[in-house]
Amino acid sequence: MLSSVQLSLQVMKSFTTKKTVWGVRELARELEQSHTKIFRILETMKEEGFVIQNPETKKYSLGSPFIELGNVAKKQFNLEEALRPCLIELRDALDESIFLTVINKNQGRTLLAVDSQQGVKFTAFEGSLEPLYAGASYRAILAYQEETFIDEILSEKMIPYTEKTILDKTVHYKKLEEIKQKGYAISYGEYTKDVCAIAYPIKDASKKVRASLTISGPIYRISDEKQQLALQLGAKIQQKIELILERSSIYF
């Protein structure tokens, strides 16, 4: 990380509820930096409106842009509160694990997960990161990305998570086309052995696919009849989630 960027972040983090105002020299002492560096950072932040300076005391406090940033962060937390009930609704209807995966640069990150209440289940861990080629939840996102991005992902060295993990680029391209035709992805034991995953692409407020909704459970329990029910109910929750994202102007 660039040292100047790191120092700028340290300056911003110094403004807390306990210490809302700083002078240049006292902040420099606090961060054990030269007052010249701190002055330049604060003046740059002032020019951009991120801090304001009291004309009498010459001390600095946070500016209004941080209010907007705080609102964005708050909306993100409220988003999880709004979406988790959708996952629980689908979990309760199928009694299988449900999770929401979002794109994170060139990987997929599990944002939310609710476990099946059955003894044998697949568990997804919130915050975990995995490549976008390994299984339905990730391919449901990858299929709708730009061609150059897809080529980049499929040109990376692929790790075989199980004996059924697809490592052939040609097969991947075919699978991605099938997903766009059908509107959903299915995988059998590609990421976790003996686990079936059914995933729907999710569009955020930009109308672009930036996430996926996945239903996952042991293959032996996902009968043809249950698979059809999962596809039907999954499509309804997919639409419900996309509506929430659109109304809340949420972008992943």
Q: Are residues 193 and 240 in the same domain?
A: yes
- Domain containing 89: what range? 75-247
User: How many H-runs (helices) and E-runs (strands) does the chain carry?
Assistant: 8, 8
Q: Are residues 38 and 93 in the same domain?
A: no
- Read off the tokens for 107: 């990987």
pLDDT at 74 over 70: no
Average pLDDT value for residue range 199-225: 95
Q: Are residues 49 and 83 in the same domain?
A: no
Phi-psi region of 217 (alpha: psi -120 to 50; beta: other; left: phi over 0): beta
Which amino acid type is present at position 77?
F
Contact between 49 and 64 under an 8 Å Cβ cutoff? The reply is yes
Residue in this structure with the two tokens 């949420």, named with its chain if needed: 250
- Residues 77-104: tens digit of each pLDDT: 577 788 999 999 999 999 999 999 999 8
68-82, 97-111, 206-220: least confident range: 68-82
29-43, 113-127, 166-180, 210-224: least confident range: 113-127
Q: Are residues 115 and 79 in the same domain?
A: yes
pLDDT at 215 over 70: yes
In whole angstroms, what is the distance from residue 75 CA to residue 32 CA? 35
Q: Give me the pLDDT at residue 2, please.
A: 52
Write the DSSP assignment of 100-157 as a string of letters: EEEEETTEEEEEEEE--SSSS-----TT-EEETTSSHHHHHHHTTS-HHHHHHHHHSP
Share of the chain above pLDDT 70, in %: 96
Asked if the structure places residue 44 within a domain, the reply is yes
Q: Give me the pLDDT at residue 122, please.
A: 79
pTM of this structure: 0.72
pLDDT at 162 over 80: yes
pLDDT at 137 over 90: yes
In whole angstroms, what is the distance from residue 212 CA to residue 133 CA? 13
- Residues 5-17: tens digit of each pLDDT: 888 899 998 998 8
Tell which residue, 188, 190, 238, has the closest CA to residue 214: 238
Asked if the structure places residue 83 within a domain, the reply is yes
Q: Are residues 205 and 96 in the same domain?
A: yes
Q: Are residues 232 and 117 in the same domain?
A: yes
Contact between 216 and 96 under an 8 Å Cβ cutoff? The reply is yes
Q: Are residues 19 and 79 in the same domain?
A: no
Q: How far is CA 28 from CA 14, 36, 192, in A?
A: 11, 8, 51
pLDDT at 230 over 80: yes
Q: Are residues 14 and 126 in the same domain?
A: no
Q: Give me the pLDDT at residue 73, please.
A: 66
Residue 71: pLDDT band (50, 70, 90) is low
Q: Give me the pLDDT at residue 194, please.
A: 93
Q: Are residues 122 and 24 in the same domain?
A: no
Q: Give me the pLDDT at residue 192, please.
A: 92
CA angle 191, 132, 76 (to 5 degrees): 110
Q: Give me the pLDDT at residue 1, please.
A: 45
pLDDT at 247 over 50: yes
Q: Give me the pLDDT at residue 236, please.
A: 97
Residue 250: pLDDT band (50, 70, 90) is confident
Average pLDDT for the chain: 91
* E-strand stretches of the chain: 51-53, 60-62, 97-104, 107-114, 129-131, 185-188, 195-203, 209-218
Average pLDDT value for residue range 47-62: 91
In whole angstroms, what is the distance from residue 245 CA to residue 240 CA? 9
Q: Give me the pLDDT at residue 67, please.
A: 74
